[in-house]
Each structure stands twice: as structure tokens, then as C-alpha cells.
Structure 1
């Protein structure tokens, strides 16, 4: 496994300028690579990819339980109460309760699903890498802080340290869905 330091840039020209600075300060081309990372949740958007951690929000059946039940119960009570207030016959009250339950079910399901989608996207933003151009540098223990400082000075954000396979001048096993390991002190200095 190789030691890798990486930083995120908003544009390719900014990333290329950072790479040029790395070259000027003694890093060789085969130890520096640039690549684009898609926005969180858009990695491997492929019909064969069924990973719940990568694709969109959780499945509908996992998100609608309590909201649908509460909505149906509240709708049934409200529907029955409205028609009972007008002294409707028992069949009309039962039909009103059924219609109210159905409408309440729809509203409850919608609200619960929206909340689950929002929670999912918040989790994605916290756990995955942000979108942008990544400059990754194959380093050793002696020069890892130098590489990180150069990336930070060049405008890099979300600096991270990784252990991975570096092959033929690139980070061969990079996975955008893994949680990055931040370089704490250097990230805080840039903020």
C-alpha cells in the first residue's frame, strides 16, 4: 500500500497550477495525478449498481411506515368527525372515514418520504467527498506534510490522507464513496 495525500480544487486550471507547483518543488510527474469526482450520490449511477450507499434515496418501503400510519389514522378521524358533525348516516360516516384515511395516508407518506430523502442527502454530504478536481500525490512519511502544505497554499480544500494502490502514475483503487480521512491541522488552517 502507498501513502497518498490529496486535495480538492474547484477547477481544472487551479488543480493544474497546484500540480505545477508540486513539480517545481521536487515532486515527479509519476507521483502526481488529477481527476474529477462527481457530486455525492452520483457515483456509479449505473443500472447494475444496486448499492443503497451510492445511488439515490432509500427505497420507499423503508421510509413511509410511521408517517403513513399516523396520516391514515388522522385522516380517518377527521373525515368521520366532519360528517358526524352534520348528523350524516352511518354509511356516509364510514365512507368519509375511508376517504379521510386514504388522503391522510397519502399526505403522511409524502411527508415521511421527503424527510427520509433529506436525511439521506445530509448523510451523503457528511460522509462522502465533495465534487471537484482532486490532485492526489504519492508521498512517503518524510514529504507528506510538504505535499499537503503545497496543496493547501495552492487553494486546495478537503485535504486528506489515504492508503491505497499507486500504479502507473495514478491512484488505482480510489473509491469516491469511501469516507475520506482528513488531514485535520492543515484543513483547519485553510478554513
Structure 2
């Protein structure tokens, strides 16, 4: 059964241990508390081959951009190789084309990276959770203020409220890719 969960980030394991003890002292059972290390974005291993997604969100234009750069560079390189054919021999246009394609693809990749155009719909996205130690506690309407006071007093940062289930100290339905709902 899903309920409300409050979570806060700390930098050190000792801070997590102190928060766990303070939450116990405030009346929260060990089964209601979950703590774990949260990996940086892209390193959650939620996708089969590794990582978070099948495709990097900012890489949607990469195949077309690289092909365009490689084609343009290849044509220019082959033309230069053809002009130098009397000196380089029959391999001049081939080597020139290959070298030009490589340089063209690198140039187009750098150009796409510098453009930095945001993804469609990405402008309004909440920033991802920061990596580090996370402690979460299942709360009720009556106990939420007490848990929030404990976490704030101990210096938790990026406090968030979520819906989920903590069973035997494990936040089973935690989604590292979900947008955090920060507590003001």
C-alpha cells in the first residue's frame, strides 16, 4: 500500500546513521526507514545493457549530424586527394576521402555539442536528484511534521516528498529517474 515518504540527502554515512537514530528517537520504526546511496544520473543501471535509458536524451540528432559531416568531409577530402593524385598516386583520393570523412564527422559532432539545443519538452523538467546518501521515512499525516523537523534539524538537503512503499527498510518502488517533489 503506497503512502507518503519524506526523503533527504546527506553527504556522509555518519550523517545517515545520526538521522536514523534521531528518527528512531522520534518514534519511527526501523521498518519505516530506508537509506541507500543514490548514483549520479545516467548510472542507475535501470536499463538492461546499463545506464538509465536506451538512448541518451541529448543524442537524438547525432546519427544524422555525423552522417552529414562525414559525407561533406569525404567529398572535400576526395577532391583534395584527386588534385594531389600526381604526387600521392591512385590512393590519394581514397585516403583523402577517408580522412575527410573522419574530420567532417568530428567537426559536425563538436558543432552539435556546442549548439546545445534543449530537447523538446525538456525545458520544464525538474533537475535530477543529486547523487549521495539518501534517507527516506514512511510517514502519516500525523507524523510528517516530526520527520521533517528531524531531517531539517540534522541538515538534510534536497528534502522531497514522494508516494511509495517502504517494506522492511527497503523503498521498493523508488524510481531514481522520477522528478523529485521538493519540500519548501
1:130 deviates by 1.8
Instruction: Provide the residue aligned with 1:189 in structure 2.
Output: none
Checking the alignment, whether the CA contact within 8 Å between 1:72 and 1:103 is kept in structure 2 is no
Instruction: Provide the residue aligned with 1:64 in structure 2.
Output: 63
Checking the alignment, whether the CA contact within 8 Å between 1:33 and 1:170 is kept in structure 2 is yes
What is the alpha-carbon distance in structure 1 between the residues aligned to residue 14 and residue 50 of structure 2? 33
What does 1:80-159 align with in structure 2 at a 5 Å threshold?
80=79, 95=93, 98=97, 101-111=100-110, 127-159=127-159
Q: TM-score with structure 2 length normalisation?
A: 0.69
Change (3 A) 1:21 1:83: same
SS at match of 1:145: helix
Q: How many residues get paired?
A: 173
SS at match of 1:64: helix
Checking the alignment, whether the CA contact within 8 Å between 2:65 and 2:112 is kept in structure 1 is no
Checking the alignment, whether the CA contact within 8 Å between 2:43 and 2:50 is kept in structure 1 is no
1:132 deviates by 1.3
What is the alpha-carbon distance in structure 2 between the residues aligned to residue 51 and residue 18 of structure 1? 32
Checking the alignment, whether the CA contact within 8 Å between 1:63 and 1:112 is kept in structure 2 is no
Q: TM-score with structure 1 length normalisation?
A: 0.67
What is the alpha-carbon distance in structure 2 between the residues aligned to residue 181 and residue 144 of structure 1? 15
Checking the alignment, whether the CA contact within 8 Å between 2:165 and 2:173 is kept in structure 1 is yes
Instruction: Provide the residue aligned with 2:171 in structure 1.
Output: 171
- Structure 2: runs of 5+ lacking an equivalent: none
Checking the alignment, whether the CA contact within 8 Å between 2:7 and 2:161 is kept in structure 1 is yes
Q: Which structure has the highest helix share of the two?
A: 1
